[in-house]
Structure 1
Amino acid sequence: MGEIRQDMVRNNLLRLMSADSFGRLRGDLEWVELPRAFELSRPNEACPYAYFPEAGIASIVAKSPEGQQTEIGVIGRDGMTPASLVLDAGHDPYSIFMQVQGEAYRIPYASLQALIHEDRDLHGLLARYAQALAVQSAYTALSNAVHHIDERLARWILMCHDRSDGNEISLTHEFLSIMLAVRRPSVTTALHMLEGKKLIYSERGVIIVRDRAALEAFAHDVYGECEKEYERLIGTRP
């Protein structure tokens, strides 16, 4: 691949950082494909690379000692991973992997860490993103505690749609049950309810957003606050 041009990348953080910051990163960036289930980082292990997704969707998943797990964050071309790098935390206890295949620019962890320490503007942008991701996790916890599965599913579909090209999202019922921490039959029932309201189509392994505005109206209280915070901290979402 030739020289990477900032005006041609799709990742929002790469696009919005200063030209000087991008120039410092550019020489260390490497384009890579990210197949489904690819692990971007493992729990409590140092990650060799940081990733700036161009396409696809990654999940941050927390797992209990007894094996219970749920998704606590979603990353697409709006962000980067791992955020622990920005916070100088070394590693975190979560699993981060691709739930929808895509591609990304990656940079060696040590290289980005050194650049963050040298470049105040770069550090500020990525630190604001780490805050936006923390807010997303907080609202996920709130939603899991107080909202019905139908609304939680609507929010999750909207968040994936925000990070996707077109209206199709490739996901299985089994994967949805893990992401929402519910049994598979509950996912099936919730999907049928959203289909009955003509908000989505659900086919084998694929969800198709049919009416985005109506889906947002249905989600109502459960969607939008962390998106507003991203706009405030970072700027226009991709």
Structure 2
Amino acid sequence: MSHLDQSTSENLLLATVLPEDFARLQPDLNRVDVSRDDVLVQANAPVDYVYFPEGGVVSIVSDTPGKGRTEVGIFGKEGVSATHLLLGASDTPHESFIQVSEATALCIATEKYLAAIQQSDTLRTMLLRFVQALMIQTAQSAATNAHQRVEARLARWLLMCHDRMDGDEIPLTHDFMGMMIAAERSGVTVTLHILEGAGMIRATRGRVRILDRAKLTDLAGEGYGVPEAQYSKLVAPFGKGSGG
């Protein structure tokens, strides 16, 4: 195992915990490569390892029989997988997998992770702050999908993915964008053309390039910004608009 210290990880949660709390985790953390479609949390199954991503986008997905898959949340370098463990549950009906970009993550065996949390109230509190921000994101997604037009929904998700990427280009398939915003593939294609025509993005096969973030933010309206502000308040500045 290569030596890790708090300054060598791009994961914002690990960078923000107290040094003594990082020291509890450090001996058992290992840096691993993660790629698109890698499953970090299987639905309705025990969790062997917990992951702190250092890049990319992780999708949390609900699979409804007969209706397909719907994304209910995302996280990346600001978060940690398997948040249900922090709430006392051993499994979850939702799957989490890498959806966008290859990256690295710091992983730790579940029993070591839970042991460290049991030893430190401050570590548990910091991790639960992320859970709070993620819960707000999930609630915001439900409200947005119920009340906003598809253009605003797509603008919101593109901004959220952009926050978690180092550059302005996001590898996104039409199928994934449809799952993100609960829309048919044909609706995604039309919406991409609308955003592209307005100069907000450039869409090519399997990729979206952000051209005008300010216009996307205006289009997303109140759908974007609430979870990001909550995370910035509870944990650390996050999102390209905050400088995080």
TM range (shorter): over 0.9
- Following TM superposition, by how much is the alpha carbon of 1:55 offset from its aligned partner in structure 2, in angstroms? 0.9
CA distances 1:38-59 after superposition (whole Å, capped 9, x unpaired): 0001111111100000011100
User: In the alignment, is the contact (CA less than 8 A) between 2:151 and 2:219 conserved in 1?
Assistant: no
Letter in 2 for 1:97: F
> What amino acid is aligned across from residue 125 of structure 2 in structure 1?
G
Using the alignment, how far apart are the partners of 2:228 and 2:20 within structure 1? 27
Which residue matches 1:83?
83
Q: Give 3-state SS (helix, strand or coil) of 1:2's partner.
A: coil
Kindly report structure 1 stretches of 4+ aligned residues shifted beyond 4 Å: none
Could you give the per-residue CA deviations for residues 154-209 of structure 1, whole angstroms, max 9, x where no partner exists? Answer: 00000000000100000111221122221101000110000011000000000000
The question of whether the paired residues in 2 share the 8 Å contact of 1:57 and 1:102 is answered with no
In the other structure, the counterpart of 1:138 is: 139
Deviation at 1:2, TM superposition (A): 2.9
TM-score, with structure 1 as normaliser? 0.97
Instruction: Give the 5 Å matches for 1:130-209.
Output: 130-209=131-210
- Measured in 2, the distance between the counterparts of 1:103 and 1:2 equals 14
Which amino acid counterpart does residue 44 of structure 1 have in structure 2? N
Find out whether 1:27 has 2:22 as its counterpart: no
TM-score relative to the length of structure 2: 0.95
2-side partners of 1:202 and 1:138: how far apart?
28
Which consecutive unaligned segments of at least 5 residues does structure 1 have?
Answer: none
Q: Once the 2 structures are TM-superposed, how far is the Cα of residue 131 of structure 1 from its aligned partner?
A: 1.0
2: CA distance between counterparts of 1:15 and 1:114?
A: 20
Classify the secondary structure of the residue corresponding to 1:192. helix
The structural deviation recorded for 1:232 is: 1.6
Instruction: Report what 1:216 is aligned to.
Output: 217
- 1:75-111: CA deviation from partner (whole Å, max 9, x where unpaired): 1001001101111211111010000122100000111
Cα separation, 2, equivalents of 1:180 and 1:143: 9
Q: SS at the partner of 2:105?
A: strand
Q: Counterparts of 1:178 and 1:72 in 2: how far apart (Å)? A: 9
SS in 1 for 2:56: strand
Q: Which amino acid aligns with 1:166?
A: G
Amino acid at match of 2:75: I
What is the deviation of 1:67? 4.2
The number of equivalent residue pairs is 238
Deviation at 1:29, TM superposition (A): 0.4
Please name the residue that 2:241 is paired with.
Answer: none
Say if 2:47 and 2:110, in contact at 8 Å, map to a contact too: yes
Aligned partner of residue 106 in structure 2, secondary structure:
strand
CA distance in 2, matches of 1:18, 1:72: 30
Are 1:18 and 2:18 matched, yes or no? yes
The reply to whether residue 230 of structure 1 matches residue 231 of structure 2 is yes
Q: Output the amino acid matched with 2:92.
A: D
For residues 19 and 226 of structure 2, the distance between their equivalents in structure 1, rounded to whole angstroms, comes to 30
Q: CA RMSD in A?
A: 1.0
Structure 2: how far apart are the matches of 1:4 and 1:67?
A: 43
SS at match of 1:55: coil
